[in-house]
Amino acid sequence: VPPETQPSTQTAIVRAATRRIADARDLQLVCHVSPDGDALGSLLGLGKALERLQKRVSLVCPDPFPEEARHLPGWEQVKLPQDAAGQDYDLLISLDCSAPDRLGAVYELARSAGIPILNIDHHPTNTAFGAINWVEPKAAATAQIIVKLVHALDIPIDVEIATCLLHGILADTRGFRTSNTGPDVLRTAVELVDCGAPLSFLCDRIFNRRPLKTIHLWAQALQNLSLEGRILSSEITQEMRQRIGYLDEGDSGLVNYLNTANEADIAVVFEELQDGQVDVSLRAVPGFDVSGVALHLGGGGHALASGCTLPGPLTAARTRVLPLLQQAWETQAPAQ
Ligand code: AMP
Ligand code: MN
Ligand code: MN
């Protein structure tokens, strides 16, 4: 396959993306590992939209579909990579993934089969790994870009598509509270609500509901708070999870809670994974940028919310990350 010339202007990218989709018969859509609300909403929203074009669409999530998002219409159709592996497809659409490793096993399968990737994402750290890269770092959510794509494809937005895409926008803007929430994303949200998306129901599900075991996990993790300079950190160990009987991965939002402390500018949660690696979740208050540290450590993300996965044990990850955050803080802190 000859290397493709990358379209460069926004119009050319949109045209190239819609042409690729129009020309494809069987599509596979994939979101990132440890999917969040934007990844899942984009996957299901675009999946439903493409079904309207009479395409064969398979939806793949590298991890089991999280329980807390099972109110999204169509979630039962989402497959694990191993269950979708036998299916042929001629275009892979990657959603909300900043780098190939975020797609899990699906990336290597597509690459070795020479299947082109349409990379749709909003991470400033995106590595442009697709044949076409529709990457808009200014977009507050990948779901916001999907709305543009659905318009470009002339697909009417029904209540199910609207629900999935609004879910994505709400999740990534934390309910329109992030600094990248501007008039565009608000207008898009109004459009989705006009199409029937249940705003207050989604807000309730995303922000107000959690299993009690999450609160127990936080109670444990909050015992280990540590403030160094203006960096607040905590950790979640496998032992804590065993004690509570909560073996799923993820910090369930703990890092966002730490990031509310007045006395800190940067929050970090170190989470020991089952395989011994350590998941690092980083948050900053506006004016700081943790994405550089995440990228340097092989991860990625946004200025105010980033992450990476490091070899264990926990103490080794802490020793690596905390000095880098301290350094970043020193360069970024406004002069007194
Ligand atoms: P989290 O702390 O897991 O909620 O992730 C916050 C942000 O960082 C999200 O935008 C993720 O896409 C990004 N992120 C988290 N972990 C990684 C990773 N291992 N590699 C690349 N990006 C990551
Ligand atoms: Mn995401
Ligand atoms: Mn996102």
Other residues' Cβ atoms within 10 Å of the Cβ of residue 147: 28
Query: Which residue's CA is minimally distant from atom 22 of ligand 1?
Result: 300
Q: Which atom of ligand 1 is nearest to the CA of 283?
A: 2
Percent of the chain beyond pLDDT 90?
A: 93
Ligand 1: nearest atom to the Cα of 291: 8
Q: Which of 250, 217, 273, 238 is nearest to 69 (CA)?
A: 250
The angle at the Cα of 110, spanning 107 to 116, to the nearest 5 degrees, equals 110
Q: How far apart are CA 181 and CA 77, in angstroms?
A: 31
How far does the centroid of ligand 3 lie from the alpha carbon of residue 236, in Å?
Answer: 24
Residue 324 gets the label, from left (phi > 0), alpha (psi -120 to 50) or beta, of alpha
Measure 139 CA to ligand 3 centroid, in angstroms. Answer: 9
State residue 54's pLDDT score. 92
Q: Which atom of ligand 1 is nearest to the CA of 309?
A: 19
- In the sheet that 278-284 helps form, which strands lie side by side, from edge to edge? 226-228, 231-236, 266-272, 278-284, 305-310, 300-301
Burial of 174 by CB count in 10 Å (0-12 exposed, 13-18 middle, 19+ buried)? Answer: middle
With tokens 């089991």, the residue in question is: 64
Point out the ligand 1 atom lying closest to the alpha carbon of residue 250.
Answer: 3
Instruction: Render pLDDT for 117-160 as a digit per residue (tens, 0 to 9).
Output: 999 999 999 999 999 999 999 999 999 999 999 999 999 999 99
Render pLDDT for 177-224 as a digit per residue (tens, 0 to 9). 998 999 999 999 999 999 999 999 999 999 999 999 999 999 999 999
Pocket test for ligand 1, best of 98, 103, 277, 310 (most atoms within 8 A of CB): 98
- Residue 212, SS3? helix
Question: What are φ and ψ of residue 33, in 5° steps?
Answer: -60, 155
Distance 301 CA to ligand 2 centre (A): 8
Q: Residue 4: pLDDT above 80?
A: no
Model confidence at 20, pLDDT cuts 50, 70, 90, reads very high
Ligand 1 closest atom vs CA 123:
10
- Taking the centre of ligand 1 as the mean of its atom positions, its distance from the CA of residue 268, in whole angstroms, is 12
Ligand nearest to the CA of 168: 3
Residue nearest (by alpha carbon) to ligand 1 atom 14:
307
Distance between Cα 36 and ligand 2 center (Å) = 5
Q: Are 102 and 32 in contact (CB under 8 A)?
A: yes
Specify the range with the lowest mean pLDDT, choosing from 64-68, 76-80, 161-165.
64-68
pLDDT at 300 over 60: yes
- Ligand 1 atom with minimal separation from the 99 CA: 21
Does the pLDDT at position 1 exceed 50?
A: no
Q: Atom 10 of ligand 1 has which residue's CA nearest to it?
A: 301
The pLDDT-based confidence of 2 (bands split at 50, 70, 90) is very low
Question: So what's the pLDDT on residue 336?
Answer: 65
Answer whether residue 233 shows pLDDT above 60. yes
pLDDT at residue number 248 = 82
* Residue list, ligand 1 pocket, CB within 6 Å: 36, 98, 102, 255, 281, 299-302, 305-309
What is the distance in A from the centroid of ligand 2 to the CA of 314? 24
Chain segment 216-228, per-residue pLDDT in tens: 999 999 999 999 9
Residue 78 has pLDDT above 50, yes or no: yes
- For the segment 292-321, the average pLDDT, to the nearest whole number, is 97
Choice between 244 and 248, residue whose per-residue pLDDT is larger: 244
CA of 306 relative to ligand 1 center, distance in Å: 5
